[in-house]
Each structure stands twice: as C-alpha cells, then as structure tokens.
Chain A
C-alpha cells in the first residue's frame, strides 16, 4: 500500500503583526492511500482549507507549521521547515473553489494551459497546445473550440472542467479540490462528480476533496475526515458517515442537510464555530454539543470504534478505555 499523503500531528498557524500565532490546524494525523478519494468536511473557518493548502504547498510566508507531512514518502513539512521542490504542481495539483475568479480573464484557455506546460516541461506553444487539447478532451470539453475561448465564454461547469484540465496538465497524481461543487447546480454537480470518479480510474488519481457538504461527499468518498476547530473529530468510511455518524457534530451536520421529498424539520447547529486561534481547553465541540457531560472538559483522544475513529468521550466505554 503506497501512501500518497501522511500527516503526523500537523499544526498550522498564521502569525499576526504582533507575532502571535493563531493556530488554524491544531494537531491532525491522517493517511491518504494512493488512488483513494479522501474528503475533509467541516464548516467555514474549521481549518480544512488550511490543511489543503499545506498539502499543495501554497501556505503564505507568515504561516507557521509544526509536526510532519509526507507526500509520497517525501517529507514536505518537518517542523517549521517546508520544502515542496518537485512536489508542488508536479505531484500535487489544485482545483480552486471558484474557477470564474481564478482563471485569467485576459487569456484564452489554450494560452493558460500553454503557460503551465511551458513552465513545467519547457515546451513551445505548438507542442503545448497539442497536449492541451488532449487534456481538454480528457475533461470532456470540445478541445478545438474551447482552446480559443476566454473564461467568460464558458459556463460555470465548463470553467470548472477547464480548471481541472489545467491542474491535470502537469501530470499531477494528487488532485486537491477546494469545494469543487459548491458553485454548481445539481445537474452539473452530478456530471462533475462522475468526471472526477472517471479521472480517478483512468489517470489513477488520488483525490482530496475539501467541502462542507457531508451527505454528497459521503456517497463518493472512500474516507471522510470531519474537521472541527482545527482538529479531526471523526474519521470513517464514506458510507458510514451517512448511515452511522458517530460524533455528535457529524450527526448534527447530517441532520442539517435538506433531503428531497422528505420534509423533516431541519436542524441547525446552535452557536458558531470557534474563531481561528481560539483555544478550547477540553473537547473542541463541547460548547455547542447538546450531549456534553462533565468528562468533556478534558480533550478526548481518538477512539477506534465501529471501523472508524472518533474523538468523543461517549465512546470511551465502547473502546474499552
């Protein structure tokens, strides 16, 4: 089993002007196998995008890291040292959240692909455009016409596909997609999910999806890691996360999603997630948890129960601790 990504007690923070560190990721450990679809789920501000940015290697200079991160066994983060040589862009690539704003509006899709291929492989325009057409047809776009289109001439779904083509054109083996479906409607979302699944098979890609939509990811992911306040509170298989969510936070997230044709009362999670840098002494979810009890003032370890890992004291007895 080849591990595509391995994080060991990874902490990522941002330094402010007074040199205080606001920790956005507070010690996460996970492993992503090659060819796996791994999903990071959580609310805005929980640190999931920071974890994604750390894997890709696009943390800002004022970011501070601790712990270790390996990409295909190459240490990219060791303590506060970060070295992504040969990894960033080449092995790990990135599909941004909103392709409408991340594609250059002044350049055609072909030119944008040319710049990527030229900088990675040093190819001239003619060869780059030939290869670009291959990648555009891979994402089911018409290469002959789309190559000359400007981003505004494409629909949202087509822009997203063009962004995926640009990301894949470097020959990357790990694709990190930040909220790839949030800007799309149901029909396009389904098409994109099918495309990503197809690429995973044909290009043997490892997919890391970052999203806030628990139910839809549960259907496509092999492993789901639920992130809350910079910590992974639950890690389990995609199917289990919908059928049998373990952590109270995961259960509440699942209850908040409207299901078509079933008009159940929607439940929201009371309160707001802690702000980045806010330190909570015990369980990070305890202030919002309806099931919190006296033990929750201590930080819970990760318990291995029901083929998953959950950081909640309610499972201490089941795990035999």
Chain B
C-alpha cells in the first residue's frame, strides 16, 4: 500500500436508496441496500480505479464520497473529516477540495452558458475577487488546452472531447486535493479517448492530486490508475495494483470480467 495521508477513507459503509413497496406496502419505507460494507482508502497523490459492472454500486459509492448520499451505516472521511457529521456549511468547505467530472459531458454542461461563465461560476459562488476570476479561468483553460476562442462558445458548439476538457477544467478550478471521474471516456470516441487519458495523467502529475476513477472499462483503468478496487454486488471483492489484477486475478469474478473483456475486444 502506498504511503502518505489518507484523503478518502470509507469504513464499513452501507448505503442505498429509500423505496416503498406496491399497494399497502407503500405505507412502509425501507432501504434498498446497494453498498454492503465497503472499505476504501485513497492516499494522497494516488490514482485509484473502481471497476465493476452495471449495478455493482460504483455510482452510489461516488455519491457517498461526494456528500450526496448519507450512508445508513459506517463513516466517510474526506481529508480527515467525517463529512456526514459536519454541519452543512463546513461539509461544503471540505467538499470544495473534491473535484468531480460527471459521466456524460453532453448532459452535464448548461447549454445556455458560455464556457467562460461555466468555468467562472464556481469561483464567483466562492466569492473570489473578479480580477482573480479571469486569471484563474485562463490558467485552467490553458492547462486543459482550451483556447481563448473556445471560452466564448456555448457547449452546443463544442465536440465531445472539448466538452470533456471543459468539465475537467471546471473540476480543477478550485485546485482540489482529489479528482473524481465517473466513466471519463465512455461517452467519447475511441479516437479522442487517448487525448483525455493523457490530459488526466498530465493534470495528476502537475497538480499532484489523488485521482479516483470509476469505470467499467478495464482497458481504460489500466492507463488511469495505479491501484484498482473491484466492486461486485455492492461489496469489494478484490483490491490491488492494477497490473497484478490484470495479470493475476485472485477472485473468480475478476477472472470472468477480464476474460469477457478480452473476448469482446
């Protein structure tokens, strides 16, 4: 395991969604459990991938880490603070250190705002000085290779790859300690996948932040992570260095996942 400070620490997290049954059962609420006692550690500056098939609880895990879904049991520590025990305002301050890139760039950007506004909005809401905002927007845009021309465009005028760059720029605008990526390349063409992978790895090197990627694509995980966690039916079934997992999977399910990937690609 790598050394350094633990940025994200999940201890025996049980989480799910409140549902009601049909008919008279609708009088009673119960929790449809998705995560069943998940333990996870992400260290400072580390790249971790969470791999699993649809319905394994990957996105629920992200929601828990992002402070959007309170777990039924267990604790969630981000930067050493149990976020669900903090008052709301303090929780927001902690979560400012977490950058998030949502799954679908086509749906995640407000179509009525120009790219410049999309990037400056988080800074303005954090009450940054107007003269600092423009400088920071330009700096981040340069980091993700967005030209000044692009800053004045609307998302509808951009390609999928460009939209993903805008999303990555928005997620790092607060200079976060950890960047969370939800399926960063699944909505993109294969031809620009490599550009986005390279960009994410460059940002990791430059900003020395931790990266937590959620993906079902083992091939992409190979390039975006050092360590991987395999999720199956809401539980962690295997954890280790990505190269070891791919070459010597220990769990039967991981073996099956790798075999399916190799057979379908």
Binding site for B on A (CB under 8 A): 43-45, 155-157, 181-182, 184-190, 193, 212-216, 219, 252-253, 256-261, 263, 266-269, 272
Query: Least Cβ distance of B103 to chain A in Å?
Result: 11
Interface residue? B264 (CB, 8 A): yes
Contacts of A259 in B (CB 8 A): 219, 265
Within residues 238 to 258 of chain B, which ones have a CB less than 8 A from any CB in chain A?
Answer: 243, 246-247, 256-258
6 additional A-B residue pairs with CB within 8 Å, beyond A186-B217, A216-B265, A266-B194:
A156-B54, A185-B54, A187-B260, A259-B219, A268-B195, A268-B198
A–B complex contacts, Cβ < 8 Å, 18 sampled: A43-B189, A44-B160, A157-B54, A185-B216, A186-B216, A186-B261, A187-B260, A189-B260, A189-B264, A252-B191, A256-B191, A257-B265, A259-B265, A263-B223, A266-B198, A268-B192, A269-B192, A272-B161
Is there contact, CB below 8 Å, between A185 and B53? yes
Which parts of B179-210 form the interface with A (CB within 8 Å)?
Answer: 186, 189-195, 197-198
CA distance A256 to B192 in the complex (A): 8
A272 to chain B, nearest CB (A): 5
**With the chains together, A156 CA to B260 CA distance in Å?**
17
Q: Are A186 and B218 in contact (CB under 8 A)?
A: yes
Asked if B194 contacts A261 (CB within 8 A), the reply is: no
Partner of B53, one of A43, A45, A187, A269: A187
CB <8 Å contact, A190 and B264 = yes
On whether the beta carbons of B54 and A268 are closer than 8 Å, the reply is no
Q: Mark out the residues of chain B between 36 and 57 whose CB falls within 8 Å of any chain A CB in the assembled complex.
A: 53-55
Closest chain-A Cβ to B197's Cβ sits at a distance in Å of 6
Bound-state Cα–Cα, A269 to B260, Å: 27
**A268 and B194 contacting across the interface, CB-CB below 8 Å:** yes
Number of A-B contacts (CB under 8 A): 98
Contact partner, B190, options A155, A193, A214, A219, Cβ 8 Å: A214
Q: Decide if B25 is an interface residue (CB 8 Å cutoff).
A: no
How many angstroms between the C-alpha atoms of A188 and B261 in the bound complex?
10
CA distance A186 to B260 in the complex (A): 6
> B224-249 vs A: 1/0 string, CB under 8 Å?
00000000000000000001001100
Residues of A within 8 A of B222 (CB): 258, 260, 263
B219–A257 touching, CB < 8 Å: yes
B27 at the interface (CB under 8 A from A): no
Most buried by B among A157, A186, A188: A186
Chain B proximity of A291: nearest CB distance (Å): 16
A186 & B264 in contact (Cβ 8 Å cutoff)? yes
Q: CB < 8 Å: which of A44, A156, A216, A269 contacts B264?
A: A216
CB distance from A41 to the nearest CB of B (A): 10
Given contacts A215-B265, A260-B258, whether A253 and B191 have CB atoms under 8 Å apart is yes
Question: Measured between alpha carbons, how far is A45 from B158 in the docked complex, in Å?
Answer: 12
B32 within 8 A of A: no
B159 at interface, CB cutoff 8 A: yes
Contact B265 A260 (CB under 8 A): yes
Q: How far is the CA of A137 from the CA of B191 in the complex (A)?
A: 37
With A215-B265, A267-B194, A272-B159: A258-B223 Cβ-Cβ less than 8 Å: yes
6 residue pairs, one from A and one from B, having the closest CB atoms: A258-B219, A268-B194, A185-B216, A266-B194, A186-B261, A269-B191
A24 to chain B, nearest CB (A): 16
- Can you name the residue of chain A whose Cβ is closest to the Cβ of B189? A43
Closest CB in chain B relative to A11 CB, distance in Å: 24
A184 near B261 (CB under 8 angstroms)?
A: no
Asked if B34 lies at the interface with its beta carbon under 8 angstroms from chain A, I say no
- B89: Cβ under 8 A from any A Cβ: no
Residue B262 lies at the interface, judged by CB distance under 8 Å to chain A? yes
- C-alpha spacing A188/B161, complex, angstroms: 26
Shortest CB-to-CB span from B196 to chain A, Å, is 8
B69 contacts partner chain A, Cβ-Cβ < 8 Å: no
Q: Which residue of B lies closest to A252 (CB)?
A: B191
Give CA–CA (A307, B162) in the complex, Å.
Answer: 38
Least distance between B251 CB and chain A CB atoms (Å): 14
CB distance from A150 to the nearest CB of B (A): 12
Give Cα A104–Cα B217 distance, bound, in whole angstroms: 29
| In the assembled complex, B220 has its CB within 8 A of some CB on chain A | yes
Q: State A216–B261 Cα separation when bound (angstroms).
A: 10
Which residues of A lie under 8 Å from residue B159 when comparing CB positions?
44-45, 272
- A266 near B193: Cβ-Cβ < 8 Å: yes
Choose one: A219, A258, A269; the contact of B220 (CB below 8 Å). Answer: A258
**Interface contact B246-A261, CB-CB below 8 Å:** yes
Residues on the A chain within 8 Å of B262, using CB: 260-261
B68 within 8 A of A: no
Known: A215-B265, A261-B247. A188 touches B53 (CB 8 A): yes
Measured CB to CB, the nearest residue on chain A to B262 is A260
Residue of B54, B193, B263 touching A256 (CB-CB under 8 A): B193
- Cα distance A216–B260 in the bound complex, in angstroms: 12
Contact A212-B265, Cβ < 8 Å, known A157-B54, A185-B53, A189-B260 = no
- Residues on the B chain within 8 Å of A185, using CB: 53-54, 216-217
Which residue on chain A has the smallest CB distance to residue B197?
A266
